Amino acid sequence: MSADFAEILKSYSKEAMKDGSARLRRALREVGDVVVRAFDSEIDRIDVNSENILDTIEVARSAAEVVDACHIIQARLYTVGNNDCFREFGLPRRRAYDVLSDFIDTDVRDSIDVRPFVYVIWNRRPEVCFYVGRSENKDGRATRLKLEGRGKLLEALHLGSLMTLMLPSPRTSTVALDVEAAVLAVLHNRKRPPILNSKIEKVPGTLGSAHLSRIGRLLGELAVHFKHPIEQDGGDLLMLKRKESRTNDLPSRISRIY
């Protein structure tokens, strides 16, 4: 039996999480190596390519976004006890406008409540995704999916054979927006981008972004807690430097200062 979209997305997000985590680790190692080399070298011997560093940082941010997307999908669609997040519909054989409009109004909309949702239109064989979108929302309620003015939705309905609804938990307009962005990010990561989606929505920061933020905060905390020896010892370090060529007691004085 062929997999439904819930199984496919779960498999994709699992592989994307592995890929994103591995790329994030590699990028952070590369940045760390550059920092170590810079601090361990003489200032006039530092060989750092700023463009390479910026590229590595961008790789880290991109990888963190993939991790964020997988985390959102797992939390909003596959949590324990949340087993009713997917509804799958076969599209009608006839694709006339009135037939598709009736399908949207009766088969799809009448089977769910008015809360926001995300949808994908796709084929199982061959496995192709045509369009990922979400319901229009007003005051936290999903308005009717209308074909007027929704050219990509109408085009996708002509091309696909299945329409899968994703009902995230909790079902709010903000969460629906997050899930839409996360699904698009995972599909792009797995080289299965929807044919009709022209842009990728911004994935909100969660697990991956939080890790990058913690690294930044750690550096900030180290800077705050570092005390210059002059502040600690009333200027003795300056006196030590002045007498450096005339004293044989340098090791013991440095030990006292630090």
Q: Is 127 helix (H, G, I), strand (E, B) or coil?
A: coil
Please give the structure tokens belonging to residue 188: 């792009």
SS3 (DSSP) at 200: coil
**Is residue 234 in a domain?**
no
pLDDT of residue 254: 33
Name the domain boundary from 15, 47, 77: 77
Position 55: which residue type?
A: D
Q: Is 195 among the domain residues?
A: no
Within a domain: residue 213?
A: no
> Looking at the structure, do residues 176 and 92 belong to the same domain, yes or no?
yes
Residue 83 pLDDT: 61
Q: Which of the residue ranges 109-123, 143-157, 188-202 would you say has the lowest mean pLDDT?
A: 143-157
Least confident window among 70-74, 130-134, 168-172, 214-218: 214-218
In this structure, is residue 203 part of a structural domain? Answer: no
pLDDT over 70 (residue 6): yes
Q: How far is CA 223 from the centre of its chain?
A: 29
Q: Do 13 and 70 meet the contact criterion of CB atoms below 8 Å apart?
A: yes
Query: Is 128 inside a domain boundary?
Result: yes
162-166 and 137-138 as β-strands: parallel, antiparallel, unpaired?
Answer: unpaired
Percent of the chain with pLDDT over 90: 38
pTM of the model: 0.76
- The number of folded domains in the chain is 2
What pLDDT score was predicted for residue 30? 82
Phi, psi of 126 (to 5 degrees): -70, 155
The predicted model gives 190-214 an average pLDDT of: 84
Residue 135 sits in the same domain as residue 183 = yes
Pairing of strands 118-123, 86-90: unpaired
Could you say which of 129, 159, 189 is where a domain stops? 189
The range of the structural domain enclosing residue 56 comes to: 5-77
pLDDT at 105: 83
Is the pLDDT at 199 greater than 50, yes or no?
A: yes
**In this predicted structure, what is the pLDDT of residue 194?**
96
- Does pLDDT of 244 surpass 80? no
Listing DSSP states for 86-115 in one string gives EEEEEPPS---HHHHHHIIIIIIGGGS-SS
Asked if 105 and 144 count as a contact pair (C-beta separation under 8 A), the reply is yes
Residue among 198, 215, 206 at smallest CA distance from 175: 206
The pLDDT value recorded for residue 258 is 33
Q: What is the mean pLDDT of residues 125-152?
A: 75
Confidence bin at 101 (pLDDT 50/70/90): confident
In a domain, 229, yes or no: no
Name the average pLDDT for the chain: 79
